[in-house]
Structure 1
Amino acid sequence: MTSPLPQFKQDFLQTILSAKILTFGSFTLKSGRVSPYFFNAGLFNNASLLTSLANAYARTIDSHPALSTSFDLLFGPAYKGIPLATITATQLFSLNNEKYGSTGYAFNRKEKKDHGEGGSIVGMDMRGKKVVIVDDVITAGTAIREAVEIIKAAGGELVGIVVALDRQERKVVKEGEVDTGLSAIQEVKKELGVEVVAILDLADLIAGVEGEEKVRMMDYRKKYGAVQEV
């Protein structure tokens, strides 16, 4: 069967399946839900896998018109976002050095440095820059909101967010919260008014695999899937 996914998504999906970064079974998540699949971003742990990841991030950005022409700088939230923003910036340059040759990158320190150059930001000055955040996932949105405040404080303007995987499932509702039926990514997108895109989402996984795994993910989406965006 011919996959409806773009070639770079097909290649990335094949990589994460071969490396067992994406696995199938029964996995109890922090939310308490039992998921039929699990994505372990920590297993991008060698040069070949990191290159595949960098290419997927870069092509996701480059193929998205609202992002590829509207940013100056990639920001990686400490800690996981730091290498992700770095490898994506270099891969964008490899993809199109004329278009992305001046693309900057920056990241934050967890603790402000009080010697040497000082400060809590490393990399390109974000003042007056349009910024895209690069991270692995958005689970509750807390870390992304913290990153947004860091960018604002540094004088930057957030214009987009790119993550590796969007599970497309509605958030677990805590006591006192209203069930909007939205996913964490949908809530962040609505709140911040910027594009939030993923290399792969649950719909891509369902489109890209066959057999029992496909059926179980479809059942999971039916049970926990976020409302469709209009």
Structure 2
Amino acid sequence: MLTEQKEQFIRFMMDADVLRFGDFVTKSGRNTPYFVNTGNYRTGAQAAGLGRFYAGMVHDSGCRFDAMFGPAYKGIPLVTACAGALYTQYGEDKPYFFNRKEAKDHGEGGCLVGYQPKDGDHVIIIEDVITAGTAVRETIPVLRSAADVSCSDMFISVNRCEVGQHPGKTAVMEVQEEFGITVHSLVTVRDIREWLGKHGEYDALLPKMDRYMQKYCI
């Protein structure tokens, strides 16, 4: 169901040129008529707004956790903005951390920046989009190599609702089954399709969206 909050976030992404329509190729190699690139957020106002959306999602989920992790690279500004907004909006001062793509061989060394997780910590993941689940499979080993942590929740901007590595299952379903992680999203591809249908200027795009969703989405 397309709520007012979801409509606000879709418009927020479009105004920031993060949600774009055209001809693109996803990380999984699929041709798609829409693309979400959170790397296009670039202003303080956008970072503040993004943090508020994510913090609201995390807070409303009721999830209890010790720290937040943002996978490099796009997860870094997301987790930072979310942590700041959680404190300013809800008074929740939660530690956050992220990883380097390559381990640092000087100074303090290591591949993690920020909070250093401890055995027994419950960590949530702050990410942008799940398409095929590739990023999650890269993230979990990073967390588990740092400490004996648990992770049962992940928060993303858009759930593309696409089939993963196994027919009949979305990447989100696979992540749930493989890692026990519940994925929360601000919007889904169906929300985006519904939003487009309410605005006549996007009528020409609707058949492309429908064909794509029929082919890849569950």
| TM, length-normalised to structure 2 | 0.85
Residues 6, 96 of structure 1: CA spacing in aligned structure 2 closer, same or farther, 3 A cutoff?
farther
Cα distance in structure 1, aligned partners of 2:129 and 2:27: 14
State the SS of the aligned residue for 1:133.
strand
Structure 2 residue runs without a partner (length 5+): none
Cα distance in structure 2, aligned partners of 1:54 and 1:183: 27
State the SS of the aligned residue for 2:49.
helix
Match of 1:150 among 131, 142, 145: 142
Cα distance in structure 2, aligned partners of 1:154 and 1:23: 36
- Residue 180 of structure 2 is aligned to residue 197 of structure 1: no
Contact 1:129 1:157 in 2 (8 A): yes
- Residue 142 of structure 2 is aligned to residue 169 of structure 1: no
Kindly state the Cα deviation for residue 28 of structure 1 after the two structures are TM-superposed: 4.4
State the SS of the aligned residue for 2:130.
coil
Match of 2:61 among 61, 64, 69: 64
RMSD: 2.2
1:43 alignment partner in structure 2: 40
Cα distance in structure 2, aligned partners of 1:167 and 1:17: 16
Aligned length: 211
- Residue 8 of structure 2 is aligned to residue 11 of structure 1: yes
Which residues in structure 2 correspond to 1:202-217 (within 5 Å)?
A: 202-210=189-197, 211=200, 212=203, 213-214=205-206, 216-217=208-209
State the SS of the aligned residue for 2:82.
helix
In structure 2, give the amino acid aligned to 1:51: A
1:73 alignment partner in structure 2: 67
2:100 alignment partner in structure 1: 109
| TM, length-normalised to structure 1 | 0.81
State the SS of the aligned residue for 1:71.
coil
Cα distance in structure 2, aligned partners of 1:71 and 1:201: 24
Cα distance in structure 1, aligned partners of 2:16 and 2:77: 19
Structure 1 residue runs without a partner (length 5+): 174-178
What are the superposed Cα offsets for residues 106-155 of structure 1, whole Å, 9 maximum, x if unpaired?
11223333443332222222112110111112233233222211212222
Cα distance in structure 2, aligned partners of 1:166 and 1:224: 13
Contact 2:161 2:189 in 1 (8 A): yes
> % of aligned pairs identical?
37
